[in-house]
A and B are shown apart, each in its own frame.
Chain A
């Protein structure tokens, strides 16, 4: 109580006046800041809406009328006047790219023409030449999306860029421009390729017509582990039977991931020695890769694999591998019921495993 009295004695009316003045000023400043922020936001909103409207009209006019009609020229001049602001430029580019993404044929070409006539290509090139990585990546994306083929060669020079985002954008763009020939960047790639990047590139390739993979053996033997992995996926996706030997050699690689992908690929391009290779390598493999091998044998195997599969089904220490081996036996062997009965009655394989496989095969 005594302490409280002392505290209030310290506050003079002057202190209170100063404090309220300070708070008042802070509040006024806050209101001004909020007002300015909202004003700028509103201006940007209306500016974007104006561009969007004008672009709508422009695209419509190009679709309906001749692209060189005076109405179109006038609209383009009006949009150009709005594009002095760099934020507006970016908004217009994004709008055109999003529209082009949804269109094909002449309509898509009209969008590209509009992009060029609005001098937006210069903005994309400016970004492409920037030293800031995200701007450069953005520039590559825009130039590719707007099909600026004259920029193909400068973009290709960034396929081995130290920056991952720039590198990925340049690789995707190169494949988009040149299709399978664009894969030549794999010859010189020294940086890594993430799983996601590999999926993106494969997806990009699926959009182009199938071409030759002449350098595939070289990529499979590359010193870059990620290039090897990607090359194995290419061999798998495009069933490159001619590289069986090179893929088989990957089974001796140190990386488990590469060996796993090699197993998958070998399953797809299986040749005479594939099953024998699997049988030979089985014991030295990891649990995950053993499972992959058994799954592949279930697809490509036949009665010749029965002794091996029976050995796995009886001697393997992991239950899931035993089940997969019995499943492979049931798939490979034409006399499935008999062999499953033999396995069950011999007692070497647990009855529950055989019953599960019988259930799966609808006995």
Chain B
């Protein structure tokens, strides 16, 4: 069972994505902010990280940087961005993000993207 670290401050979105991924057979760890997420970036590492770019305390970009700084495991990162924040997505890609999905998004599309990333790693 692949372990997903989901970082999203909107509780309803977090819950919705969590339940969808759980239904798809993933183990999901949810964090409402970047500070808490950083605590989960220790061994055993998650298999994939999904993060919103706009987060309290620690931004999504910093999360991308922190995940990509992990030497022990190459963890794919998918970032959520809102429309009009394309420049931040570019920055995320420069930091090593593997994929992005624009809000509003379809849960099925998100699941496909997660599976694709996990398959390619």
Chains A and B belong together in one complex = yes
Q: How far is the CA of A100 from the CA of B12 in the complex (A)?
A: 10
- What is the 8 Å Cβ interface bit string for chain B, positions 106-121, against chain A (1 contact, 0 not)? 1111000000000000
Category for how many chain A residues contact B? 10 to 19
Give the chain B neighbours of A108 by CB distance below 8 A: 104
Interface size on B, residues (CB 8 A): 18
- How far apart are the CA atoms of A101 and B13 in the complex, in Å? 10
A55 within 8 A of B: yes
In contact, B19 and A105 (Cβ under 8 angstroms)? no
Report A-chain residues with C-beta under 8 Å of the C-beta of B105.
102-104
The answer to whether A107 and B20 touch (CB under 8 A), given A101-B103, A102-B105, is: yes
Secondary structure at chain A's binding surface: helix, strand, loop or mixed?
helix
- Shortest beta-carbon distance from B47 to chain A in Å: 22
Tell me which of A95, A99, A103 contacts B106 (CB under 8 A): A103
B19 contacts A63, C-beta separation under 8 Å: yes
Cβ of B2 within 8 Å of any chain A Cβ, yes or no, is no
| Known interface pairs A52-B11, A63-B23, A64-B23; A104-B16 also in contact (CB < 8 Å) | no
Cβ-defined partner of A99 (8 Å) among B16, B20, B108: B16
Are A107 and B16 closer than 8 Å at their CB atoms?
Answer: yes
Contact status A107-B107, CB under 8 Å: yes
Given A64-B19, A64-B23, A101-B103, residue A59 in contact with residue B108 (CB < 8 A): no
Chain A nearest CB, measured from B1 CB (Å): 17
Check if A56 is an interface residue, CB within 8 A of chain B.
yes
Residues in A neighbouring B20, C-beta threshold 8 A: 63, 107
Chain A residues with CB under 8 Å of B106's CB are: 103-107
B40 part of interface (Cβ distance < 8 Å): no
A108 and B15 CA atoms in complex are apart in Å by 14
Q: Are A99 and B12 in contact (CB under 8 A)?
A: yes
A96-125 CB mask vs B (1 if < 8 Å, else 0) is 001111111111100000000000000000
Docked Cα-Cα span, A105 to B109, in Å, equals 9
Specify the chain B residue showing the minimal Cβ separation from A60.
Answer: B19
User: Who on chain B is nearest to A102 by CB?
Assistant: B103
Residues 68-121 (chain B) with a chain A CB within 8 angstroms: 103-109
Collect the chain A residues with CB atoms within 8 Å of residue B36's CB. Answer: none
Nearest residue, chain A, Cβ from B16: A59
Residues of chain A within 8 A of B12, CB atoms compared: 52, 55-56, 59, 95, 98-99
Task: Judge whether A98 and B107 touch: CB under 8 Å.
Answer: no
User: Which residues of the other chain, B, contact A104 by a CB distance below 8 angstroms?
Assistant: 104-106, 109
Query: Are B104 and A102 in touch, CB under 8 angstroms?
Result: yes
For B107, the chain A residues whose CB sits under 8 A away are 63, 103, 105-107
Which 5 pairs between the two chains have the least Cβ-Cβ distance?
A105-B106, A104-B106, A99-B12, A60-B19, A56-B15
> Which chain B residues have a beta carbon within 8 Å of chain A's beta carbons?
10-13, 15-16, 18-20, 22-23, 103-109
Show the binding face of A for B, using Cβ within 8 Å.
52, 55-56, 59-60, 63-64, 95, 98-108
